Structure 1
Amino acid sequence: MEKLAEALEKMAHVYDSDLPTFTGAVNEWLPFKAAVRDTTSMYHISAAENLQRLRSALKGEARDAVAALLHTATDPEVIMKTLEQCFGRPETIIDRTLDELKKMPRLGSTATELNSFAIKVQNAICVLENMDRRGYLYNPMLTREVLEKLSPHLRSRWCDYASEREQTKEPEIVLLSRFLMREADRALKYTYAPSEGSPPAPRKEVKTYVSQQKQKKKASKVYTIIDNSERNPSCQACEANHLLTRCPKYDTWTIDQRWNFVREKKICFKCAQKTHKRSFCKAKSCGVDECRRPHYASLHQTREKTAAVESEPAVQKKEAVLSVACQAAAGPRAVLLKMCPVVIAGPRGEVRTYALLDEGATITLVDEDLAASIGAEGPARPLQLHGVNMKQREKDSKLVTIQIRGVKTTTPHPLRARTMKDLKLHQQSIPESLMKLKHLQDLPQDEICYELARPGILVGSDHWEHIVSRELRVGGPNEPAASKTQLGWVVHGTTPRHLIMKIENVLHVYEPERSEDRELHDLVEKHFRIEALGIASEPRVSEADRRAISTVEKTVKKINCGYEVGLPWRSDKMNMPPSYDAALRRLRQIERKMDASPDFAREYTAQIDNLLSKRYATECDGSERSSDVCWYLPHFAVKNPNKPGKQRLVFDAAAKCYGVSLNDGRS
């Protein structure tokens, strides 16, 4: 009975438990979190129901972040903590709130604008109060950002409001928010400002003769004729209720049968649907194979190009070959390609040459003269070479078969290659000094080292078994690697240029000058000097720079730890307004914050003690008040969110008293 009563009670209390949509935006997190918390406690929603609600409410990035958790029946609290870690970080929300405060426009003169401004400030302060963990509310720069957007009259009223509540321990920005809400409420009550949703008062429109004539022209009637027969399309081929282009019978016809049918029925060639004129049809052109003729795509006729195909040789194929060697200006590093000495053989004997092992080439190439020297012959086939911004055609290329082996091996390997006339590949040298590297010391120098070698054969990826590394040795950074292939060891990679470049000989020639030539040179140089023409160049110095230089020259003096220089004032007779009360009010705010946070008080006191111990600041004895330039400088502490635990002391030289700041008095 108790369970039945609970079920009836739940059925009696119908509630709306749907959650707002959350996509991962920063401004959506707080309302979404509050909705989950409040509805769960208010309607006693179970964990399974909350999980289902989260599946329906999460969209976009928020759903992607917890997609796996949503489908594994995870505890909803784990999902909410994950979402808060990704999208509800306090510092992110606070930074967005501070940016919104800074981007608010200056306050206007109407009561409605004042009310809107005050509400925005109140909302921002509410967010900061709920999520502030590092004392952002006590930052005086935040209050200054809002005060700079107020009118002079409101600033004056704020001064009276703040002085009456000087003893309160609340942050200054909270007091400012209450002040703005109070002023907005009074302005809306006693200035009779219209609400934001009320429509503006209707204005009487003055109609002129010209406007009346324009209205008469606009009111002219236009009659059109509509062909109702085209509204309900019917197929001209089978008279069914569909378009001709979708007719199954039409699809089975050949192109010639379709053309004969549309000509007979006088159907538009362009749309193949209606019987209007082709010149008035708005359908697009054919577009098949880039055809621009005014007919429908199903009426397109392909042109056979058998003659052009038959004219090409049947054996012609395009084979891509790519081998890049940098010939740019010399830099600090050089690049070594995979080159090794090899022996190639044919019917007429053997020849020693060098092979370039190029994994970027799709075929193997051999120099035509080199192949002829060993008697390699084969059928002639045209060859099309493709490279980086390069195309080349070899009409007399031959497909030959040769034998290749390394200089240290005796077993030859068959190799199919294409001949190419004047095969000019990258020239390269590997000196013996390179073998002093630790990982190359035990390799055979006579096999690896060579000087100004130019390959006569390029082994491509069609013979990958000769290119692939069987053993690899790697040194330190900027040192080449050594790979053992089927044809022998190869050194490749980057290396310092000075290890493979020879020392060039330089001849210095010195020719002694004659005395008469030197005298002539001095006379010409003296003649063309600027001072000889009566012109002297003097640098322009501004008045502020001139005063600063004069201040340094008059007041600089050496002390025990360095030099001391006076402040550069804008004028010699500078009178600063009294600033004691303003600085004292700022100091009391700092003391209230220190009373509320012992950690802040300890760090702040340490900063002041550091200034006094290093004699960057000294205690006043009271004689400074008689000076005309006496100024009490406020100070406050700031923290960088990116450097937690570090507090920095800032002297506010921009703080104004009676409209004047310390920065205004200095040049």
Structure 2
Amino acid sequence: MARLRRALKGNAREAIKSLLYSEASPLEVMQALRRRYGRPDALVLAELDRIKTLPKISENPKDICVFASQINNSVAAIKGLKKPQYLHSPEMVKQIIEKMPTILKFRWYDFTAAADEGEFSDLTLVSRFLNTEADKCGAFATTEERTWTKRTHRQATHSTKEREGNFEEARASEKTCPVCQGEHFLRDCQKFLKASVQDRWALVKKSRVCFRCLQGRHRKENCRKPPCKECKRWHHHLLHAGPEERTTAGNEDTQRGASSIMASVNAVNNARAYLKIVPVEVFGSHGSKKILALMDEGSTVSLLDEKVAQGIGVQGTTEELVIETVGGQLIKKKDSQTLDLMVKGIHQGRKKTLKRVRTVDNLKLAPQFLEKKRIEDCPHLKKIADSLHYEGESPQLLIGQDNWELIVTREVRRGRPGPEFLKKEEVDWPAPRTFKKETTGEEKTVDVVATASTRHPSPDPERFSSWKRLWRATARVLQFIQLCRKKEKVHAAKNDPAWKMTTSKKTKTDGKEIRPSNVQDKR
């Protein structure tokens, strides 16, 4: 869904904007787009209309090559849409011939005369003819002038500006230093080179130039310049801050920026979101190690830091690993290992097995601080503050949806009226305690859990085994038979004459006559 939100623009995004932020699955979004835009006949008719709007061409070899490529693209699109019946259109062939110069028309007549009868009305034959002519005159065609289009990514309220022009003219006009207004680029400015790294960043942001090339006003994502030579990040090497400069700048900006940043955050919301990070213990042939684990319900794979795997002595099979992040960045590792990892919660005694865990060189997960005072401020979590508290360090294990049975939320403890609440997972709950459960009306039962993995995990085998199901079915059948026998005895007793005689007798109590309730009084 994240890739769809990032890729869809314009009318396509407007058509399914409600589905993007609802509980709809990506398949439902694709079906909605297919209903709106995935109509092959409409797309083919649009291609034919595009051919009709093409202008007449001259005898210039360049025009012939461009015209041939346009017709070839339309024919390929019709074939790709699997609508070959539209390729047999004498009317379209006639319109294409009318757009050709006179000498090319006579060559077409000769070409159709040599072809088999019945093929002259096929668009494929016209495309083949134009490609042949383009190959003959392509060597004499002039080179096309390079143009470029610059679009502002910050869209205005009522319009979006576009500028088209000659590439060389734009390059010449941009050769002006935004700092000293000299005839050189910013990276060659002496005033810019003498400034500190922090001052350079301020000048670049003020000038609104690209962080990677320090030259154009485009975004860094669209820049073709290589990343920083030192840290491989998306900025120019003149903007790279060393360890000493980064530490000094951090100390100077801490007190100055912390108050303003925290003030703006507190003005919006005092709550803070915590990720599902829990302390666990992993086991291997060389021993065990206590680390932090991140329970990521948005990941389809479980990852382990390779240094941890080497330290505890766990090994597996070597397979290539390719990970695509939310931003579309690909991470490849050829020597990644696939292994099964024994893990347990710090406050638990039973071990669990993580299936198909992949190893990576450096997991690089952001650390999280869970202060003890923050927990003690919550009355419903105060008794277990010692069990939940942990120091800020980077998680070295990521548990994804391929091991969903260990990360699914099983219980929620929520206080009143604050927003802090605690989720109970399979591996992170502290030692057994007695809690007073309070229903809030917001609890939801997980009916279906989906996982994107080549090896599908199965639920509890004891619950869904064939013997258990047979035992439950047999018990239900026996209960039904017992109920039927009981009803049969009641029905037989009602039809028995002796039972009727018994019910028709009169009973006397305290000198008064009392009749059964089912016998009507005829007096």
- Shared fold (TM-score greater than 0.5)? no
**TM-score, with structure 1 as normaliser:** 0.26
**TM-score, with structure 2 as normaliser:** 0.33
Please say which structure displays the higher CA radius of gyration: 1
